[in-house]
Amino acid sequence: IKNRTESKNPTIPTLPLCPLIPTDLRGPVEISDVAHSMEQLELLFDNLDPGGHYKPPNCQARSRVALIIPYRDRASQLTAFLYHMHPFLQKQQLEYGIIIVEQAGYGPFNRAMLMNIGFVEAQKLHQYDCFIFHDVDLLPEDDRNLYTCPEQPRHMSVAVSTLKYKLPYKDIFGGVSALTLDQFKTVNGFSNKFWGWGGEDDDMANRLKYHDYHISRYAANIARYKMLPHRRQPANPKRHEFLYNGNKRFNIDGLNNLQYQRQDLKLNKLYTWVLVEISESR
Ligand code: UD2
Ligand code: MN
C-alpha cells in the first residue's frame, strides 16, 4: 500500500499538509519599538526566497497568500512592518509573499488603485489564491489572527489602537482585509476613482454587498492592531459623491479598466517592490 503523501517520483517526497491550526501560536505578540535599517533586516531574515517569498520548510501550506501593501514615503513604517510581519506569518505556516506597490510622484495618493495593481502584478509572480490588502502602518497584535481567506471576505483590522480598539462602524472595510482570488475578481477589484484620503474602503464594502457577500470578522480581542503614528493625508472632497453613485460604476470601474505604467519591479530580499505611475484617466 502506497503512503498517501508519497509522490509518483520516489526521489521527491511530497510534504504533508500543514496543520489546520498552526501548532506554534501564542496569542498576544510583542510589538518592538526598536528601529532597524533595511540592511540589518536583510541579515536577520535569511530564510526567504527572492522578493520576500516564503514557504514553510516542513509542510505544505494550505494557503498561498499575497500581502499587497500600498506605499509611498513611509520608510520607517516599512522596516517596522517587515520586522514584525515575517516572523508573524512564518509562525502561521503560510506560503506568502509581500508586495509593496509604490506610487511614483507627488500627486494625490490612490490606495485602491495600488491594491488593484498589486493584485495583477502578484499573479505574474506566484499562484496566489488569497489576497490580503494591508496598510503599511498596521501591525497585528495577536498571532491567532490568521492571515488566510475564509469563505466570506474578511475585515481583519477590527480593533485598531488609534480607534480606541473599537470598530467605528459596522461596514468598515479599511485597514487590513482579505479576499480570495475569485471574490476579488467577482467584485471587479477596487474602484480606481478615489484620489486622496477616504471612501475607497467603503466603496469596496458596497461592492461586496452588491454581490451578496458578507463581511466576516474575528473577535475584537484577537483582531487587534497597533497603528504606527503618521500625519493625516488631505481628505478627498469628492469621496461622498463617488461613494453615493458608486454602484453605477461597479462593473466598469475597477480591474477591468485599470491602467498604469510599471516603472520598476525588483525582487528585493524582504519584499517585492513595484513602482508605478498612475494618473486620472477617463
Ligand atoms: C484609514 C484606513 C485605510 C484607508 C484610509 C482612507 C483603517 C484602519 N485604515 O487609514 O485603510 O481606508 O483610511 O484612504 O481603517 N499610504 C502611504 N503613503 C501615503 C499615504 C498613504 O504609504 O502618503 C498608504 C499606507 O499603507 C497607509 C495607507 O496608505 O497605511 C492608508 O493611509 P493612512 O494611513 O494615511 O490613512 P488612515 O490611517 O486614516
Ligand atoms: Mn494609517
| pLDDT tens-place string over residues 255-274 | 999 999 999 999 999 999 99
- Give the residue whose CA is nearest to atom 27 of ligand 1: 135
* Contact partners, residue 238, CB within 8 Å, separation at least 6: none
* Contact partners, residue 2, CB within 8 Å, separation at least 6: none
* Residue to mutate, 76, 135, 273, ligand 1, most ligand atoms under 8 Å from C-beta: 135
pLDDT, residue 25, reads: 96
More confident of the two residues 41 and 2? 41
Ligand nearest to the CA of 75: 1
pLDDT, residue 47, reads: 95
Give me the residues near ligand 2 (ion), CB cutoff below 5 Å.
137
> 200 catalytic, yes or no?
yes
Could you tell me if 7 and 235 are in contact, meaning their C-beta atoms sit under 8 angstroms apart? no
Alpha-carbon distance 259 to 192, whole Å? 9
Q: What is the mean pLDDT of residues 53-60?
A: 97
- Is any ligand 1 atom within 6 A of the Cβ of residue 174? yes
Catalytic residue (one of 211, 230, 240, 262): 230
Is the four-CA dihedral 83, 89, 93, 99 of positive or negative sign? negative
Residue 89: strand, helix, or coil: helix
Q: Is the ipTM of this complex over 0.95?
A: yes
Q: Which three cell numbers stand for residue 176?
A: 487590513
pTM to 2 decimal places: 0.96
> 203 catalytic, yes or no?
no
> 212 catalytic, yes or no?
no
Q: In this model, does residue 162 exceed pLDDT 60?
A: yes
Could you tell me if 261 and 277 are in contact, meaning their C-beta atoms sit under 8 angstroms apart? yes
Kindly report the length of the chain: 282
pLDDT, residue 267, reads: 98
pLDDT, residue 13, reads: 74
Q: Given pLDDT bands bounded at 50, 70 and 90, which one contains residue 3?
A: low
Residue 210: strand, helix, or coil: helix
Which CA distances in Å does 246 have to 68, 202, 257? Answer: 23, 10, 15
